[in-house]
Chains A and B, each alone.
Chain A
Amino acid sequence: MSELAAAPALTKVPTPRLGRWLLLALMGWIVAYAFLGRLSAWLTHDLLRLSPATHLGSAVAFFVYEAPKVLLLLTLVVFGVGVVRSFFTPERTRAILAGKAESVGNVLAAALGIVTPFCSCSAVPLFIGFLTAGIPLGVTLSFLISAPMVNEIALTLLFGLFGWKVAALYLGTGLLIAIVAGWVIGRLKLERHVEPWVYQMQTDATDVPLPSLTWDSRLRAGLDAVRDIVGKVWPWVLAGIAVGAGIHGWVPQDFMASFMGKGAWWSVPLAVVIGVPMYSNAAGIIPIVHALIEKGAALGTVLAFMMAVIALSLPEAIILRKVLRPALLAVFLGVVTAGIVIVGYLFNWLV
């Protein structure tokens, strides 16, 4: 008798052991987080006898404090988002978006891009699925812009290293770019620039059988997400923080201000142009970003660079080329890039 048949008896009740274990883990998390500052000070000053005034002392203190802090935050957030994601599927998102008028659709698509599980290799099947269900091109693109860019790793790291205001700004502007860029492209009526074979495909709303998930499997989905994502990303986080620690300890205070500071008006477009073809996951880039800003780089320039790196990339452009003809692909990249540049200037001006 398969396990799934026994599932109804367990619906809504988490396995007692799993629930208790997770609760214990959460308490341990809170304790660890609360003691980080003291641990870092103790390790650097008392154990290693490094004075914070020295380059090495400053760098080590930075690393010992930030690395566990970021990893703890990541674990918690990835777990939470993993559980939230278990409620969403691309099929469900498509059902929600089908038939919505464009402006509303753009907003919904951008918002759903955050919570719908999305692997970038699914971009093509998803694009086709959305279009053949009648979802407008612009709305589909709003989703495709928001999904990679507004991701929980980037938001968590920004929150951990810069505080909630910057994270909220990133979230807000990221969504804004996704909504507006998608809406603009919709207005331009570029449907004939979609590769014709896309419209010939049929995707009836085959709802792939989803076993109705119990809370137990949702919690496990969260744990799976932690093991997969944090397990994959932690070396990058450590490397990024190490580089950040080096910059923090050794680079002179206002070094970055000269070419990445607010004064240099060309720094925003330049940063974005450099960032677009690059790809990195958020985990490696953000700690470096943090240290750069400390040394005088303007927040807007650096965040614009980060958005450009995460949201657009050569690999993604190559994948999208399968479904978008060159003119449309160029417009897509251009509009998103323009949005990022504007946001960069905005941040520089506001902050």
Chain B
Amino acid sequence: MKRIEVLGPGCANCKLLHERTQRAVQELGLEAEIEKITDFNVIMGYRIMSTPALVVDGEVKLSGRVPSVEQLKALLS
């Protein structure tokens, strides 16, 4: 079961990444738990410089952009 975290303090881009990630996971039929993180302390813990960001099983996969659902599916599979 993958653990996916969507990092962002809550602006529109962060919400968009969250939605697209949910769709990508759904379309891939992945077993994954998706969590939206808005706490700065946790976000800084991953040492990223721009939100929104995507972390899968503790590894930062992307930061600072909102890819399309197709690109997310490629990233997650």
Q: Which residues of A contact B (CB under 8 A)?
A: 2-4, 89-91, 94, 117-122, 124-126, 128-130, 201-204, 206, 208-210, 217, 220-221, 224, 228, 232, 322
Q: Which residue of B12, B13, B74 contacts A4 across the interface (Cβ within 8 Å)?
A: B74
A3 and B50 contact, CB distance less than 8 A? no
**A121–B77 contact, CB under 8 A?**
no
- Let me know if B68 and A220 touch, CB within 8 A: yes
Complex contacts, B8 vs chain A, CB 8 Å: 121
Residue among B9, B49, B71 with max Cβ neighbours from chain A (10 Å): B49
Name A122's contact: one of B49, B62, B66 (CB within 8 Å): B49
Contact of B66 (CB < 8 Å), options: A118, A120, A220, A224: A224
Q: Report A-chain residues with C-beta under 8 Å of the C-beta of B49.
A: 90-91, 94, 122, 125-126, 128-130, 203
- Residues of B close to A206: CB separation below 8 A: 47-48, 60
Least CB distance, B30 to chain A, in whole angstroms = 13
Instruction: Say yes or no: A3 contacts B43, CB within 8 Å.
Output: no
- Supply 18 further A-B pairs (C-beta < 8 A) apart from A119-B11, A217-B71: A89-B50, A94-B49, A117-B50, A119-B52, A121-B8, A121-B13, A122-B50, A124-B40, A125-B48, A125-B50, A126-B50, A202-B47, A203-B49, A206-B47, A208-B48, A208-B60, A224-B66, A228-B13
CA–CA, A190 and B68, complex, Å: 42
Q: Which B residues touch A2, using CB under 8 A?
A: 74, 77
Per-residue contact bits, chain B 45-76, to A (CB 8 Å; 1 contact, 0 not): 00111111100000011111110101100110
Q: Which among B61, B64, B68 is the interface contact of A89 at CB below 8 angstroms?
A: B64
Contact partners of B9 in chain A: CB under 8 A: 121
Q: How far is the CA of A209 from the CA of B60 in the complex (A)?
A: 8
A125 touches B14 (CB 8 A): no
Report the minimal beta-carbon distance from B75 to chain A, rounded to whole angstroms: 8
Interchain CA distance A349-B43 in the complex, whole Å: 47
Q: Which residues of A contact B74 (CB under 8 A)?
A: 2-4
For residue B61, which residues in chain A have a CB less than 8 angstroms away from its CB? 208-209
Could you tell me if B10 and A117 are in contact, using CB atoms closer than 8 angstroms?
no
Residue B63 contacts which of A204, A208, A224, A228 (CB distance < 8 angstroms)?
A: A208
Are A121 and B47 in touch, CB under 8 angstroms?
Answer: no
Asked if B44 is at the interface of the complex by the 8 Å CB criterion, the answer is: yes
* Cα distance A4–B67 in the bound complex, in angstroms: 13
- The A-contacting residues of B in range 8-42, CB under 8 angstroms, are 8-14, 16, 40
Please tell me which one of the listed residues A4, A117, A204 contacts residue B64 in the complex, with CB atoms under 8 A apart: A117
